[in-house]
Structure 1
Amino acid sequence: MYQNYNNNQLCLSIPLEINISSNHVAVAISHFVDSIPDKLIYEKAMTSGRPAYNPAMLLKVILFAYTRQNFSGRKIEAMAQENIPTKWLIGDPDTVPSYRTINRFRSSDQMKRLVEAMFLSFRQLLKAQGLIDDSALFIDGTKLLADANKYTFVWRKASERFEGQLDKKIAGLYQELVQNKVDLAMSDEAPKTDSKTLEKTSEQLTNEIERLDQVIATEPIIPGGSPNKRLRRKFKHDRHLIDSDYLPRKRKYESNNAIFGDRNSFLRLIRMQLLCA
């Protein structure tokens, strides 16, 4: 047996009230908006024309729609027509603000001022209910580097391939420095690409930069720019490239080679790093 159902039957419906549960999010939103001082919500209204919608009601409807992932003015209007919690927030089942009214309100200067007020009121509300306190201080912009697993495999073939690519870049850099008449103090004909040689190269570039500083300080203004200044700029770039990129990577590969031994891979523990932006 089924209950009688006929949606074409004429019936007289007298809704006396619209109720929602006390723990519904709409109740929390209503309580939050009501906690905002009236002077921030109710600005001077127009004295002529049709009475405007209550800004507190519009604010409650918009905030509730956002909790339901509805950001379109037309969808918010549809909620005002069909959604019971939204009707409860409006307070009148026959009142339905149009999407133009909703969009005009949330893009107004009043809404911008309300956003700032809501931030302060929301914090005060959470503090009054004991949900937050002032015992902890958090830095805005803190980033936590995440990793899918705190362990990662280091493979010999991949390490050797990447180290070979790095050695080619280092050799190319050495060739440029030789062409720029930088004394690299290498005993062998073939350039060394180990970390110690990179450290010495960085020191030699620092000496060359200091020498150029002295030359530039005494030279007159040269039309078209000073060649020494261009060369100093190039040496500073090369030194930064070595110190910040080539040398750390080379040390990492040398450390990997010492760990590999006769093995083809090893497991490395990745520690989480906390970066403050």
Structure 2
Amino acid sequence: MTPNNQFNNNRFYENYQLKLPLEMDVLIPEDDSVRLLNFVLEGLDYSNLYNKYSTKGRKSKVDPKIMFKIITYANMENIWSSRDIEKHCRRDINFKWLLQGVQPPDHSTICRFKYEKMDEDVLENLFSQMLNILFELGEINFENIFIDGTKIESAANKYSFVWRKTIIYHEKNMNIKIRELFEKINKIYNQNFTINSSENIYTINEINKVLNFLYETKISTNTNFVYGKGHKKTQLQKFTEGLEKYADIRKKYDEHYLKLGDRNSYSKTDIDATFMRMKEDYMKNGQLKPAYNLQIGVESEYIVGAAVFNNPTDSPTLISFLEKLKQNLNTTYKNVVADAGYESEENYMYLKENSQNTYIKPSNYEQSKKRGYKLKYGKVENMIYDKENDKYICHNNKYLEHIKTISRKTATGYSILKKIYKCSNCKNCEFRSNCYTGKYSKKITVSPRFSELRKESLKNITSEKGNLLRINRSIQVEGAFGVIKNNYGFKRFLSKGTKNINIDILFLCLGYNINKLHSKIMNNRLGISLFKENEVA
């Protein structure tokens, strides 16, 4: 028999024989992480998940609880693609053990389960239940939370950007042309349509009002519009076609503004993604790419909360992140530890009102430790404040008197009061070169509330406990990002939209936490929540 005939008759495996019954359980080591996964996830309540399934019709081939275990274990093993999960379900003995003899699901079934049946609320509930198990085991105690953020690239195309500044620029030019068109229509047809200045915006309603007039004029004058080469268009047709073109552009710009919200950019192929400057660019030229700002909170090396935002900076995300954490865990952390990127008066006040101890490093902390910082006499921190007379005293013993108070509101509506102080005369001051390089007398702007809150936070982080917490922030939360990005290779989302990405992140955190619990068990480190300074050294 030729080799081709042998393969065609499926006889190439005739020398192999499977011995039944096949006991897969004995092939998996007792300390394998898949056993720990099965033990932990068996203790969860899946009633919310089962409620997503109808009691009518054909029953699902794979039980939802088993599907949940499979996807979580795939995240533990750095398997992100649904097609790869399907392949491992058919070949990997650990996946087969989790399936309990059920036929492996295909990739479309996995996707439907992940993004349709398993919505964000259900997954948040299961994630919170797992954290409660860690609490019962004594692994976390909801006391110290270390917060940080990183940018992860979206699955969107790189060159699909829409910029707010570009829209404003082209919109302004279009507005000038519409105004000129309105002026001509008013002059020729003796109308009085509103003529805005070139800085204002013509709304779609204003444009449609003039278009309706042109349509009525066409009917009343029995004017026929012509098309194609060799036909001369009437002035009415030119006005109508020009205004129709601007109406379409106006609708497009309105859609852009709606998608932008309060952002400065978005991606056409992933509307929720914002263009951000990525750190890990190989050429070190700070390329802008569509991305999400991933925020996580870590305690005792476990991720206790995660969320994605489309803000490029960390400061506006802190309150929303902590509120979400409070809602999911039904508790409030006692100590909040974060880096200088989270410093703002609004964040300080939120933590103070919620009786949470602030361990946020001031943005000028590293600079203030340098030798030359004290020689910068123009810094408010290097001046003496006379509280009784509400004045600042500079290095030359001159007064900077309060001249006015200004108020501004943040994007969230928080009101910030700032005081402006001015020196009466800086002329011929011997310290001017180290204080002020302007033409007129020295002015400083101070937020009294922010200054007091910053001093409290500085006192906290420089205490013995504060030093220990700051060391652990660098190890625990930044270490978690190092594991996710480098060890797991998770540097780019595979799905699009905030809803789907939050689901991906929560599954990733579930897998991360079980891997961490397994690692601590194997290394006999259970119950250890903080690294000591001598351990770090």
- The TM-score normalised by the length of structure 2 is 0.28
Q: Are 1:22 and 2:30 an aligned pair? A: yes
Match for 1:34: what amino acid?
E
Aligned to 1:128: 136
1:118-160 Cα distance to aligned partner (Å, 9 max, x none): 22211221122232335x33365532479xxx9xxx9x9xxxx
Larger radius of gyration: 1
Q: Is the 8 A contact 1:73 1:100 kept in 2?
A: yes
Give the deviation of 1:113 after TM superposition. 3.0
1:231-251 Cα distance to aligned partner (Å, 9 max, x none): xxxxxxxx45xx89xxxxxxx
Q: How many angstroms apart in 1 are the aligned matches of 2:469 and 2:435?
A: 25
Give the deviation of 1:52 after TM superposition. 4.2
- 1:22-61 residue pairs with structure 2 within 5 A? 22-43=30-51, 44-49=53-58, 51-61=60-70
Match for 1:106: what amino acid?
K
Match for 1:28: what amino acid?
L
Give the deviation of 1:29 after TM superposition. 1.6
Aligned to 1:78: 87
Change beyond 3 A, Cα 1:45–1:21: farther
Change beyond 3 A, Cα 1:15–1:124: same
- 1:63-142 residue pairs with structure 2 within 5 A? 63-92=72-101, 95-133=103-141, 136-138=143-145, 140=147, 142=337
Query: 1:108 aligns to what SS in structure 2?
Result: helix
1:150-192 Cα distance to aligned partner (Å, 9 max, x none): 9xxx9x9xxxxxxxxxxxxxxxxxxxxxxxxx9854248x994
Give the deviation of 1:33 after TM superposition. 2.0
Q: How many angstroms apart in 2 are the aligned matches of 1:196 and 1:96?
A: 72
Match for 1:53: what amino acid?
V
Match for 1:119: what amino acid?
F
Change beyond 3 A, Cα 1:61–1:184: same
Match for 2:433: what amino acid?
T
Match for 1:138: what amino acid?
I
Q: How many angstroms apart in 2 are the aligned matches of 1:66 and 1:78?
A: 14
Give the deviation of 1:46 after TM superposition. 4.1
Unaligned runs of 5+ in 2: 1-11, 149-336, 341-360, 373-422, 448-466, 474-537
Higher strand share: 2
- 1:1-277 residue pairs with structure 2 within 5 A? 8-13=13-18, 14-19=20-25, 20-43=28-51, 44-49=53-58, 51-92=60-101, 95-133=103-141, 136-138=143-145, 140=147, 142-144=337-339, 184-187=425-428, 192-195=432-435, 201-202=441-442, 205=443, 239-240=444-445
Give the deviation of 1:8 after TM superposition. 3.9
Give the deviation of 1:91 after TM superposition. 0.7
Change beyond 3 A, Cα 1:104–1:144: same
Identity fraction in percent: 17
Aligned to 2:356: none
Match for 1:57: what amino acid?
I
Give the deviation of 1:50 after TM superposition. 5.3
Q: How many angstroms apart in 1 are the aligned matches of 2:96 and 2:83?
A: 16
Q: How many angstroms apart in 2 are the aligned matches of 1:32 and 1:187?
A: 74
Considering Cα pairs closer than 8 Å and 6+ residues apart, tell me whether 1 or 2 has the greater RCO.
Answer: 1
Unaligned runs of 5+ in 1: 1-6, 157-181, 206-238, 245-270
Q: How many angstroms apart in 2 are the aligned matches of 1:120 and 1:197?
A: 55
Change beyond 3 A, Cα 1:183–1:73: same
1:216-268 Cα distance to aligned partner (Å, 9 max, x none): xxxxxxxxxxxxxxxxxxxxxxx45xx89xxxxxxxxxxxxxxxxxxxxxxxx
Q: Is the 8 A contact 2:46 2:65 kept in 1?
A: no
